[in-house]
Amino acid sequence: MKSTNLTLIAALTLAFASMSASVAQAQDAAAAAAPVPDNQISYNVALTSDYRYRGISQSRLKPALQGGVDYVNNPTGLYVGTWASSIKWIKDSGGDDNVEVDIYGGKRGEITKDVTYDVGGLYYLYPSNGLTPSANTFELYAQIGTGPFSLKYSHSTTNLFGFADSKNSGYVDAQYNQDVYDGYTLNLHAGHQKVKNTSASSYSDYKVGVTKDFGVVTVALAAVFTNTDAYVGRGKNLGKTGAVLTISKTF
C-alpha cells in the first residue's frame, strides 16, 4: 500500500510539473506573440549621487533628482520626449536657475538587420538662466549602432551652454553596453567635446560602469573621469574623477 501511494504521488507530481511547464510555455508564447502597441508612453524617475553630463558635474558634485516622459510611435520609429534634472551650475555661473529641461524628438529604426540608427534634435532649456549668452542650447544628433556598440555625433546649431561664439560645436560619443553576467551590464563610454573658438574648454571624458535591473529599480554605478580642470563651480573641479551611483525606475 505504501509503495502504491508513492507511485501514485510520483505520477501526480510528474503530471502537475508537466502541466505547469505547458502552461508556462503557453504564457511565454502568448507574450511573445502579443502585438507591440502602435503608440507607447513611458515615464522615468531617478536619483543620482552626481549629475554628470559629458563627464562634467551639473550639480556641483552633489545629488540630483531627475525624471521624464517619452512617447514613441512604433510603426514609424518616431518619438518625442522631455526630461528634467535639478542642477547647480547656472547659479554658480552667475545666473538664476536650478533646473534643466530637455525637449527632444527624432526617429529611430534599422538600416539592416544588425545596424540601427537614431537621428533627431534636442533642446536644452534653462527657463530663467539669465546668462549672456544664454545657456539654452539646441543640438542635432545622429547615432549608428550594431550589437553592443554605438557611435553618436551631436552638433550645436546655437551657442553651446553659454559659451560665446560657440555655434557649431560638436560632441562625439562612443559606447559599449554588454550583458556580462546574470543581468549585469557593462557600460563603457568615451567622448570628446569640441567647443568652437574656445579650445581651452574642449576636453575628453570617459566612463566605466555596471548596470543591473532588479525589477523594482535599476541601479547603475560608474567611475567617471575627464582630462580637463577648466570647469569649476565654487572652487570645485567639476570634471574630477568620481564615482556616480544612480537609482532609477521606468514605468
Helix (H) or strand (E) holding 223: strand 218-226
**pLDDT for 8 beyond 80:** no
Is it the case that residue 167 has pLDDT exceeding 90? yes
For residue 130, give the nearest of 171, 156, 92, 95 by alpha carbon.
95
Which residues neighbour 243 within 8 Å (Cβ) at sequence distance 6 or greater?
A: 49, 221, 222, 223, 224
Q: Reduced to 3 states, what is the DSSP secondary structure of residue 241?
A: coil
C-alpha distance from residue 218 to each of 59, 70, 180, 224 (Å): 21, 18, 16, 19
Mean pLDDT of 162-180: 98
pLDDT interval class at 80 (50, 70, 90): very high
pTM of the model: 0.86
Q: Which CATH class is domain 37-250?
A: mainly beta
Lowest mean pLDDT among 30-39, 85-94, 200-209: 30-39
Percent of the chain's residues with pLDDT above 70: 86
Per-residue confidence band for 32, with pLDDT thresholds at 50, 70 and 90 = low
Rounded to whole angstroms, how far apart are CA atoms 118 and 152?
A: 9
Which three three-digit cell numbers place residue 233? 563651480
Whether 195 has a pLDDT exceeding 80, the answer reads yes
Model confidence at 189: pLDDT above 60:
yes
What rounded mean pLDDT belongs to the chain?
A: 90
